[in-house]
Structure 1
Amino acid sequence: MTRPILRYASLGSGSSGNALVIEARCAGQTTRLLLDCGFSTKETEKRLARLELTGSDIDALLVTHEHDDHIGGVARFARRFGTPIYMSRGTYLSVLEHMHSCRGLDVFFCADHKPFELGVVQVNPYTVPHDAREPLQFTFKCQDLHLGVITDVGHITPAVVASLQNCHGLVIEYNYDAAMMAASTKYPPKLKQRIIGDYGHLDNQVAQALLLQLIHPNLHHVHAAHISQNNNDVTRVQQLLEEALSAQGIPFALACQNQGFDWFEVT
């Protein structure tokens, strides 16, 4: 019997746009999902081409929340390729109030801790604290392979930790360095407060504490994502990942804004 395959790649990660491709193969069937689409359709197609994919290869779009760097390209992409969209009802209602209208598209609602199937993938939405109307993050399973994603979260709750237990691959937000943020002159005080607040983003130390709670013998690789280009240091993020993972021999990498990262297989 052919073993199942679950792999993922980033088209880009950061405040200028986010998109993550999840691909699963099982029993002769392939399912490809796009988690968020914060790029124009043209740019998304260009980035998919790096993975030898086209927009027509995407079976469904999943949306975490209504912020532009995650949803900005969703409606146009869906219209062009006829792709169904999955989001929370709160995200949809917020979208209707802004420019990214999804009227006339195939939109399906998902909700906290209500798993559903997309092809050979089981999708598990879970709620996170973020300054959006009904934000969700997701984990993905193909048989016994398990990928967890956590970005755009202001603080860590027991439900977040529980949702990400026993993942074989993890994508975790290391958004900002607290000292760099405090010293920044580029961001006005109101924006700083939004980012560092309980419904903003994770700083390096909180992300590191979360990762340490999630390490287990079958964790095979970790990606740091949504790294601020203005208020973080990739060298410091790399050092933190080394401190957490090197003793266990767990590989890791950093997602960047322009290139994301190439395919990684969950094993």
Structure 2
Amino acid sequence: MLKYCSVGSGSSGNCHIITYKDTGILVDAGLAGKTITAGIKNAGFDIDKIRGIFITHEHSDHIKGAGIMSRKLDIPIYANLKTWCSMKDKIGNVKEENMVVFENDKTYALGDIKIRPFSIPHDSEDAVGYNIYSENQKMSIATDIGYVTENIRRNLKNSKLVVLESNYDPNMLMMGSYSYSLKKRVMSEGGHLSNEEAASFCTELVDGGTETILLAHLSKENNFPELAYATSKNVLTNNQMIVGQDLMLDVLSRERVSKVYEL
């Protein structure tokens, strides 16, 4: 059974745990090493089965604990070349054999799990989302996306579980304390996905076979969980998709370990 858990999701740090049979992986490690280690144990996963860390992009809320976890567990960090070049000086010493470069849009096997990175639009060197496969199930992680591209649509189709960014409420962002340039960045095609944009895409995902949608990477300043949830639920309901019947909809916490979702 493919299992997923979030240790934390938001601008203060991101880390996802996925396990299948005897293989576990982390997607991003943007929290303190102690926090990630505690999260793995609190979720009931065996830390000794974590076989690798897959990085989406080089921003600190995604890589802060990557070097620490690699050294602690003696496991490889996987990223594409541009991301590696941008992050290698930020994560401390990593053994050469634990620095693994992948190419986007190719599928890789690690133990019992297959992983496929795909390109996403974000203001970093070469950001990716991930498709993760067991023998007969597929889940996807797509956060830090400026807008939903056709490539994202193709990659997320038929994913049973999708972790999808729902970063900000436009009104809260415009009325908030961010500088004008930062507001423009968040709303740009290299920025983040708004609640409304996420909600609209949710309907496409359900049409494409998704059964569980986990709203992720909520802004601390420009969003709150109830609003992100209500926005997506209302749009789904207006499209005759009933939350709790046609799909499960949840919001991942910035600070707390999520429940374990099973496929």
Q: Is the 8 A contact 1:95 1:101 kept in 2?
A: no
Give SS of 1:39's match. coil
Match of 1:232 in 2: 223
Match of 2:132 in 1: 140
Match of 1:15 in 2: 11
2:173 to 181, 187, 190: 181
Does the alignment pair 1:47 with 2:39?
Answer: yes
Does the alignment pair 1:117 with 2:109?
Answer: yes
| Residue ranges of structure 2 left out of the alignment (5+ in a row) | none
Distance in 2 of aligned mates of 1:119 and 1:15: 31
| 4+ long deviations beyond 4 Å | none
Q: Is the 8 A contact 2:200 2:232 kept in 1?
A: no
Map 1:86-105 onto structure 2 (within 5 A): 86-96=78-88, 98-105=89-96
What letter is aligned with 1:92? W
How many Å apart are 1:230 and its aligned residue?
1.0
**Deviation string for 1:200-248 (max 9, x for gaps)?**
1101111112221111374321100001121013222111332314265
Give SS of 1:232's match. coil
How many Å apart are 1:103 and its aligned residue?
4.2
C-alpha change, 1:202 and 1:217, in structure 2 (3 Å) is closer
Match of 1:263 in 2: 260
Q: Is the 8 A contact 1:13 1:260 kept in 2?
A: no
How many Å apart are 1:119 and its aligned residue?
1.0
What letter is aligned with 2:179? P
| Residue ranges of structure 1 left out of the alignment (5+ in a row) | none
Distance in 2 of aligned mates of 1:216 and 1:135: 26
Q: Is the 8 A contact 2:26 2:50 kept in 1?
A: yes
Does the alignment pair 1:212 with 2:203?
Answer: yes
What letter is aligned with 1:202? L
Does the alignment pair 1:71 with 2:63?
Answer: yes
TM-score normalised by L of structure 2: 0.92
Identify which range, 46-55 or 130-139, moves more after superposition.
46-55
Q: Between Structure 1 and Structure 2, how many residues are aligned?
A: 256
What letter is aligned with 2:246? G
How many Å apart are 1:31 and its aligned residue?
0.9
What letter is aligned with 1:70? H
Quote the RMSD (CA, aligned, Å): 1.6
Identify which range, 121-130 or 98-107, moves more after superposition.
98-107
**Deviation string for 1:72-107 (max 9, x for gaps)?**
1101110111011111111000013x4224542411
How many Å apart are 1:54 and its aligned residue?
5.2
Does the alignment pair 1:161 with 2:153?
Answer: yes
Q: Percent identity?
A: 26
Match of 1:6 in 2: 2
Match of 1:253 in 2: 250
TM-score normalised by L of structure 1: 0.91
Give SS of 1:262's match. coil
Give SS of 1:192's match. helix
Distance in 2 of aligned mates of 1:254 and 1:148: 15
Q: Is the 8 A contact 2:195 2:232 kept in 1?
A: no
Distance in 1 of aligned mates of 2:45 and 2:136: 25
Distance in 2 of aligned mates of 1:102 and 1:205: 41
